[in-house]
Amino acid sequence: MNNLRKKYNEKILPALKEELGLKNVMAVPRIEKVILNIGVGKGLKDEKFIDNAEATLVRITGQKPVRTKARKSISAFKIREGMTVGLKVSLHGDKMYDFIERLINVSLPRVRDFQGLSLKSFDGQGNYTIGVKEHNIFPEIKADEIENLHGLEIVITTTVKDDEVAKKLFLALGFPFKINNK
């Protein structure tokens, strides 16, 4: 069992159960899944850009991403129905906990001028979204192998439907939030 999952099961789960006054262990908030998403707007016509972004996601997550296709044509953006417009990976279980642990302890501290995560990125349903401008913050990406820098979006989905309870969960897991959120 990985370190973060063990910490959650042994320390965080009982503490949250007591703090929130819950009787059932299954009612305690937990992370359901983590979704990584890359929009390939820059390289719609460039298949090599899409392949590089796909290789990046494979390296970061250890899973092959799904190519998301355009549902309808939009002439102003030169998008045709069926074109690849993004890539996404969903992580569950041990891979999810491994990724979150690496994100908190290794990747986020590597972000240039990192001041902490914003508390405003909760969506009102207990889920949290992190936007990463450069994918090279992940240690799996070698600096000399980067052809194009691109960003990615990380969505962490929880079982709670309340942002305040979700904040308690994320703080207990060790997410580095900004103290004075301006």
Question: Got the DSSP string for 164-179?
Answer: HHHHHHHHHHT--B-S
Average of per-residue pLDDT values in the chain: 85
Give dist(CA 12, CA 24) in Å, integer.
15
> What percentage of the chain carries pLDDT values higher than 70?
93
Q: What pLDDT was estimated at residue 51? A: 85
Query: Which domains does the chain show, CATH number per domain?
Result: 3-39+60-66+89-139+149-173 (3.30.1440.10)
pLDDT at 144: 64
The pLDDT tens digits of the residues spanning 82-113 come to: 888 889 999 998 999 999 998 888 888 888 88
Q: Which two tokens stand for residue 88?
A: 């996404």
Rounded to whole angstroms, the Cα distance separating 131 from 156 reads 11
Q: What is the mean pLDDT of residues 43-72?
A: 85
Task: Supply the pLDDT for residue 158.
Answer: 93
Give the residue carrying structure tokens 């063990």.
Answer: 6
The per-residue pLDDT for 64 is 93
Whether pLDDT at 1 is above 70: no
pTM above 0.75, yes or no: yes
Q: Find the mean pLDDT for residues 40-69.
A: 84
pLDDT bracket for residue 143 (50, 70, 90): low
